[in-house]
Amino acid sequence: MNWVANFYFREGPGIDKDAPKPEGLRLLGAVLVREWWDLLRLNVLFIAACLPLVTVPAAYFASVSVCVAMIEDRNVYLWRDFWDAFRSRFWAATLGGVVFAAAGALAWLALPAYAAEARSNLVFAVPFALVLAVSVLLPLLASSFLVSLAKAKGRSAGQVIRISALAVLARPLPGLAALSVVGALWLAHILFYPVSVFLPVLVNFSLGALLMSFAMLKGVELGCSQAARKQ
């Protein structure tokens, strides 16, 4: 029976220290494979933290903070890390959430009004296009703002806003691609209801936070490096 013991207790292949680190979609796939169980738990924890409703922005920021740690392959202690992030940036995340929610509501109210006017008067096509662009960019700015909060610790509110804006301007396409995937997830939930009734409970929120954080992280890191050079 020695061969059984030798087979069972032999050293594994390990990780090649000289192997290049995965990037792009390979990195995202590695994170999903490595962290899938914590992502399920994070989704449930986020929903529980959102029950008072006023805590939604802070809970989403805490989810983003955990997702950034997953992407950077840091040790994640889900319960502790989530609540530490929730408490540490509660007011900043809540204020940011209120601002982005108000801006989004105004944009979506203005969009049909300008669309109706543009049909009869082409002058209104310009403000309609601007409002449409703002409606698309707002989710990217919100995600970038939350990732910047998670990464730019110790920086002022003005610096965080500048970093988040620079991240969107520098790398808008990954954010738009991630936003499309997140939208497809929610569309699948609607189209396949009631079969998909458990989709939001299991994956939609945490996977959405991971995808948006992954898309915006490099832009935020670029913004942080630019801000560091100016200091």
pLDDT tens, 149-171?
A: 998 777 777 888 888 888 888 88
- Is residue 164 a contact partner of residue 148, using CB atoms and an 8 Å limit? yes
Mean per-residue pLDDT over the chain, rounded:
85
* Phi, psi of 174, deg, nearest 5: -60, -40
In a domain, 122, yes or no: yes
Q: Within a domain: residue 158? A: yes
In a domain, 77, yes or no: yes
Domain contains 92: yes
- Is residue 134, in this structure, part of any structural domain at all? yes
Whole-number pLDDT of residue 132:
87
Cα–Cα–Cα angle for 136, 139, 145, rounded to 5 degrees? 135
- Under the banding of pLDDT at 50, 70 and 90, the label for residue 81 is very high
pLDDT, residue 147, reads 92
Tell me which residue range forms the domain holding 126. 25-230
Q: In this structure, is residue 32 part of a structural domain?
A: yes
* pLDDT of amino acid 48: 93
Residue 3 lies in a domain: no
The pLDDT of 158-187, averaged and rounded, is 89
What share of the chain in percent tops pLDDT 70? Answer: 89
Residue 18: inside a domain, yes or no?
Answer: no
Residues 77-102: what's their mean pLDDT? 93
pLDDT value, residue 110? 87
Domain count, the chain: 1
The CA distance from 114 to 55, in Å, is 33
